[in-house]
Structure 1
Amino acid sequence: MRDNTLWDGTLRLVGSGKAEGEYNYMVGKNAVSPKWSVIVQLSKSLKISPTGHETLTVEGGQDIKLPCEIKGVPTPRVTWQKERHLITTSDDLT
């Protein structure tokens, strides 16, 4: 894991595989008590539903909703791809 503190005081953790633990935000050179703290937990297990590959056949012009239920602690970040290209919320897939 590589980390650095940005100019605005934000702590950035890169490659968070070993980031689990308690982090404290303190102000001043000799700060004794934390002003803010957060506990980072890495997901121990994910539950993804549906599992495996599915084929969906629809008629042209129909709306399609692709459900995917993800559970984990902490809540996992979900992204979708189409033909190996990341889909963003602003993409129009028509």
Structure 2
Amino acid sequence: MRQRITPQLPDLKDQPAEWFKYWDEDESGSLERPEIVRALIKTIPEFTGRDEGWLGGTFAAIWSIIDPDEDGSITGAEFMMPGGLYETLVANFCRHRIDG
């Protein structure tokens, strides 16, 4: 039986495009809410161990801000746009890496 090789998780702050692609599990070119929730639980220490329902509910409340065309998914361009999800995550959860 072949063992599946999982690529190393790219760093959100330093490799945002690779991080995005890593979590795009269905290779659709966009992240849907379940993919984002899973990525954050696995990536951001503040969310580790949180219930997916709790985090999903939090994203439901802000989804229209991070999904400006409200199509239910976030493309790479939406992820990287000024004020988008990438900037929000880095500003709020990657400070320790930026400052030190």
Is the structural similarity TM-score above 0.5?
Answer: no
Larger Rg: 1
Using structure 2 for the length normalisation, give the TM-score: 0.19
Give 1 or 2: higher helix fraction.
2
Q: Which has the higher contact order (CA 8 A, sep 6+)?
A: 2
TM-score, with length taken from structure 1:
0.20
More strand by share: 1
